[in-house]
Amino acid sequence: MNPVRRRTLLGSMLAAPILAGCGGAGDDAVTFFFQARPQEARTRLRIIDEFTRRHPDIRIRTIMSGPDPLQQMLTYCAGGKCPDVLMSWEMLYAGLAERGVLLDLRTLLDRDPAYAATLSADSYRPLYETFDYGAGQYALPEQWSGVFLYYNRKLFEQAGIRPPGSWSQAWTFDEFLAAAETLTHRGPDGRVRQWGFADAWVPYYSAACFGMNNGAQWFSPPKAPTRTNIGDPRFAAGIQFYADLAVRHRVAPNVADQLSVSAPDLFSSGRAAMLLGGHWLYSEFSRLGGHADLDFDVTVLPVGPHGGPGAITDVGCTGLAIAADSPRREQAWEFVKFATGPVGQAIIAESGLFVPVLRSAMRSPGFARAHANIGNLEVFTGGPDVSRPLVITPAWGKVDSLLSRGCNRVLRGAAQADSLGAMSGDIDALLRAGT
């Protein structure tokens, strides 16, 4: 599954009429390529509207992505029609950078050292550094999502379980499993009526996060890696723990179970007590999303016996990049600075749809108001500091294809996680070969 699907699983793409008025089709408009669900796109339009109010001489024309944004961007650029500003994903941008599609933003940052210093001081280092590759800075972060656990307050209170509220005080694998077992209820016929845990993300990416929380990186180094650690016993044990939740302990739906109902639907209907996902689901579960009876909060991922002391999560970050051959580079730079700077990030903060990437916006009253129903707000505010990239490599497309086949066999119960080490040589060869 494409990693960007995590922000599109629960909604269709925005219809074109909603995007009308964002600049005409004239050649002087800055084109902005992005992918979003309807509510997300409306927030982006608020940023665009405020930008054009302050910069009436710069018009923005939006281009919505289809289901495969990477291929779409490559097609545009190969045809000489690359959008000026491009949404970038942490697992996809390296290939574009190596192909010369993206502009090194350091060429622009170096012209304004005062702005660059202010931005750097207000940024979360794990997010900002996600988009530096080689000797360049190829995007500026615009939103954090990460992955964590949503939980049903009512079901937890009924079970007498109190989950941790911060990344520094995470629960153990054993504590997490015990909670999931307690929260899994079966009927007289043995069929599950309520699951302890469900997963709304890409399962083998989630499993990798469990491996990382057991003390081993997935790749070394995570950025431009030369080898995989999938054969590390600690990483394999984390993957096996995740797989066993469904295969062995039956506290989570297996592949067949998920064919009939989605994980978010299980959680929103009270048929799953915990759900792994990112902030992209927040609006779906909030009262604005239509689930007035769902009382939920958030907690952190569990830590294995070899991990810790605190929990970590995936960076889950998107950024804004500029096409290297953009004829509107200066105008595009003004928009990127605005959207990733204090004003744009304040709009993101108060929308409740995204988590901002600047500390000042994260501390803003608007962000707190947008998440007033969340008791464990530190899961959001502390998430960027404990984020780690899964992997950043131009070879990801080929590596992903190979990994998904092997890992999905483990998640189905057809193989044990310690067998994945046999794939290391082939994966390392792909990493060395690059794109």
Q: Whose structure tokens read 């509510």?
A: 39
Region 259-272: what's the mean pLDDT? Answer: 89
The residue from 313, 336, 351 where one domain ends is 313
List all residues 6 or more positions away from 221 whose beta carbon is below 8 Å from its beta carbon: none
Question: In 3D, which of 146, 201, 220, 226 has the Cα closest to residue 6?
Answer: 201
Is the model's pLDDT at 293 over the cut of 80?
no
Averaged pLDDT score across all residues of the chain: 90
390 within a domain of the structure (yes/no): no
Q: Is-cis flag, bond preceding 221, omega within 30?
A: yes
Using pLDDT thresholds of 50, 70 and 90, give the confidence band for residue 71: confident
Residues 194 and 179: their CA atoms lie apart, in Å, by 13
> Do 112 and 175 share a domain, yes or no?
no
Render the burial of 180-202: b for 16+ CB within 10 Å, e for the rest. Answer: bebbbeeeeeeebebbbbbbbbb
CB 96 within 8 A of CB 48: no
* CATH assignment of the domain containing 136: 3.40.190.10
The residue from 327, 362, 397 where one domain ends is 362
Residue 154: the pLDDT is 96
User: In terms of residue numbers, what domain contains 159?
Assistant: 148-313
Residues 113 and 129: their CA atoms lie apart, in Å, by 17
> Do 164 and 298 share a domain, yes or no?
yes
Region 82-88: what's the mean pLDDT? Answer: 95
Is the model's pLDDT at 6 over the cut of 70?
no
> C-alpha angle 45/50/54, rounded to 5°?
145
Is the model's pLDDT at 1 over the cut of 80?
no
Question: In 3D, which of 70, 79, 78, 80 has the Cα closest to residue 33?
Answer: 70
428 within a domain of the structure (yes/no): no
CB 159 within 8 A of CB 175: no
Q: How far is residue 407 CA from its own chain's centroid?
A: 20
> Do 172 and 78 share a domain, yes or no?
no
Neighbours of 365 (CB within 10 A): 10
More confident residue, 153 or 23: 153
Q: Hey, what's the torsion of the CAs at 156, 162, 168, 170, to 10 degrees?
A: -70
> Do 290 and 160 share a domain, yes or no?
yes
> Do 291 and 327 share a domain, yes or no?
no
385 within a domain of the structure (yes/no): no
CB 301 within 8 A of CB 213: yes
Using pLDDT thresholds of 50, 70 and 90, give the confidence band for residue 165: very high
Question: In 3D, which of 285, 282, 318 has the Cα closest to residue 44?
Answer: 318
356 within a domain of the structure (yes/no): yes
Residue 297: the pLDDT is 97
> C-alpha angle 171/264/6, rounded to 5°?
85
Region 79-102: what's the mean pLDDT? Answer: 92
Question: In 3D, which of 122, 143, 185, 81 has the Cα closest to residue 360?
Answer: 122
Residues of the chain with pLDDT > 70: what percent?
A: 92
Query: How many domains, the chain?
Result: 2
More confident residue, 192 or 257: 192
369 within a domain of the structure (yes/no): no
Residue 23: the pLDDT is 39
For 115-158, the DSSP string reads HHHHHHHHB-HHHHGGGEETTEE--EEEEE---EEEEEHHHHHH
> Do 221 and 236 share a domain, yes or no?
yes
Residue 435: the pLDDT is 67
301 within a domain of the structure (yes/no): yes
Residue 5: the pLDDT is 41
Region 260-266: what's the mean pLDDT? Answer: 88
Using pLDDT thresholds of 50, 70 and 90, give the confidence band for residue 67: confident
Judging by DSSP bridges, how do beta strands 317-322 and 140-144 pair with one another? Answer: antiparallel
427 within a domain of the structure (yes/no): no
Give 3-state DSSP helix, strand, coil % of the chain, rounded to 5: 45, 15, 40
Is the model's pLDDT at 357 over the cut of 50?
yes
Q: In what order do the strands lie in the sheet with 30-34?
A: 60-64, 30-34, 85-89, 317-322, 140-144
> Do 265 and 186 share a domain, yes or no?
yes
The residue from 362, 393, 426 where one domain ends is 362
Three-state secondary structure call for residue 320: strand
Helix (H) or strand (E) holding 234: helix 233-247
Residue 42: the pLDDT is 85
81 within a domain of the structure (yes/no): yes
Is the model's pLDDT at 7 over the cut of 80?
no
> Do 211 and 346 share a domain, yes or no?
no
Q: What is the pTM of this model?
A: 0.91
Is the model's pLDDT at 9 over the cut of 90?
no
> Do 288 and 180 share a domain, yes or no?
yes
Torsion angles phi and psi, residue 95, rounded to 5: -65, -40
> Do 39 and 136 share a domain, yes or no?
yes
Region 154-178: what's the mean pLDDT? Answer: 97
CB 198 within 8 A of CB 263: yes
CB 205 within 8 A of CB 314: yes
Residue 43: the pLDDT is 87
How far does the chain reach from its first CA to its final CA, in angstroms? Answer: 19
> Do 231 and 159 share a domain, yes or no?
yes
> Do 89 and 196 share a domain, yes or no?
no
